[in-house]
């Protein structure tokens, strides 16, 4: 029997952690496979740590990793994969938007298809604003158009991965991980599982607009060089426009069809246009250089404070 692990990152989830454990444990009790739950406490500032400690004391099949501070959702999932010794792992969030009751169906599909990855596709997303639905839809389609890798549309980190994929994932050393993209990049046999995403059972989203933008920009820049090509294209367009304007004003001065000396508007347009192109180009280059700077420092993605119920 293949061992199954649930990887559940947590950040300030005191309102949902007990219910998340109850629901996942109830599902795992119906499965014949040996199972375990790996909770990653991503530097929570509420009572999440204390609640996880209580759960781990009562249940030896619950493993807990406490970070030294908040490192982010993707490092938390990464830590879960790094510390997982199971044959299969399912990644899901503590807010229960991705229902653990679907786990038996996901396992059945994986066994039927002999798949290395079962990625869960959202047919609908309850409890989310139209703005978030629209921006999420735009994000996935923009990623596919800009990246060299095809990503499944309307998916999150909720997915099953097998030991082969986890071993390959452990070899990836970049720090700014976009996990759902990396799992697609790894390859092997990947199949979709369609489901209805539920609303949070309590609490607030840990991805406000600022974090959503940062997450999207990291994903795009780590998986595509096209922003650099776009900046190059804008620079080329700016040069062409500049040449056309120079020729136009010169001929206008010679033949009298343009009063260049009185063209305050054209001067301002030219300055603003070229200045904007330069700022965009420098900004794109600076962002890529910043990524290189972070990678060269080679700092760890996360720091573990304590662990519970691990054999070591």
CA distance 221 to 146: 10
Single out the residue of 93, 84, 223 nearest to residue 166, CA to CA: 84
pLDDT of residue 288: 73
Give mean pLDDT, residues 265-286.
70
> Where are the extended beta strands (E) located within 126-252?
155-162, 190-197
- Over the chain, what is the mean pLDDT? 79
pLDDT tens digits along 124-158: 766 556 666 666 666 666 665 566 666 676 777 88
Tell me: pLDDT of 7 over 90.
yes
243 pLDDT band, cuts 50/70/90, is confident
Q: What is the largest CA-CA distance in the chain?
A: 91
pLDDT of residue 219: 60
Tell me: pLDDT of 225 over 90.
no
Highest mean pLDDT among 109-123, 224-238, 272-286: 109-123
pLDDT tens digits along 250-268: 676 666 665 555 555 566 6
Say which CATH class 4-224+301-308 falls into: alpha beta
Q: What stretch of H or E contains 308? A: strand 304-308
In this prediction, what percent of the chain has a pLDDT beyond 70?
69
């Amino acid at each position: 029997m293949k061992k199954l692990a649930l990887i559940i990152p947590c950040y300030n989830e005191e309102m949902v952690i007990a219910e998340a454990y109850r629901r996942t444990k109830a599902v795992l009790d119906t499965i014949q496979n040996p199972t375990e739950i790996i909770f990653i406490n991503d530097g929570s500032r509420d009572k999440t740590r204390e609640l996880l400690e209580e759960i781990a004391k009562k249940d030896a099949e619950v493993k807990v990793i406490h970070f030294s501070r908040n490192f982010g959702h993707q490092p938390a999932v990464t830590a879960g994969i790094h510390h997982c010794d199971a044959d299969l792992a399912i990644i899901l969030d503590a807010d229960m938007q991705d229902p653990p009751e679907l786990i038996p169906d996901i396992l059945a599909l994986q066994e039927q298809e002999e798949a290395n990855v079962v990625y869960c596709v959202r047919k609908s997303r309850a409890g989310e604003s139209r703005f978030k639905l629209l921006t999420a839809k735009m994000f996935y389609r923009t990623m596919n158009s800009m990246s060299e890798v095809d990503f499944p549309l309307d998916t999150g980190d909720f997915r099953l991965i097998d030991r082969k994929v986890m071993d390959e994932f452990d070899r990836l050393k970049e720090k700014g991980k976009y996990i759902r993209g990396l799992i697609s990049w790894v390859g092997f046999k990947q199949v979709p599982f369609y489901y209805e995403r539920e609303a949070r059972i309590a609490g607030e989203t840990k991805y406000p607009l600022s974090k959503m933008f940062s997450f999207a920009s990291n994903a795009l820049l780590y998986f595509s060089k096209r922003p650099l090509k776009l900046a190059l294209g804008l620079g080329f367009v700016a040069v062409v426009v500049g040449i056309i304007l120079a020729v136009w004003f010169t001929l206008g001065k010679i033949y009298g069809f343009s009063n260049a000396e009185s063209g305050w508007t054209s001067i301002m347009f030219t300055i603003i246009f070229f200045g904007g192109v330069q700022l965009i180009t420098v900004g794109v280059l600076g962002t890529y250089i910043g990524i290189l700077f972070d990678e060269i420092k080679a700092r760890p993605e996360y720091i573990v404070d304590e662990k519970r119920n691990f054999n070591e």
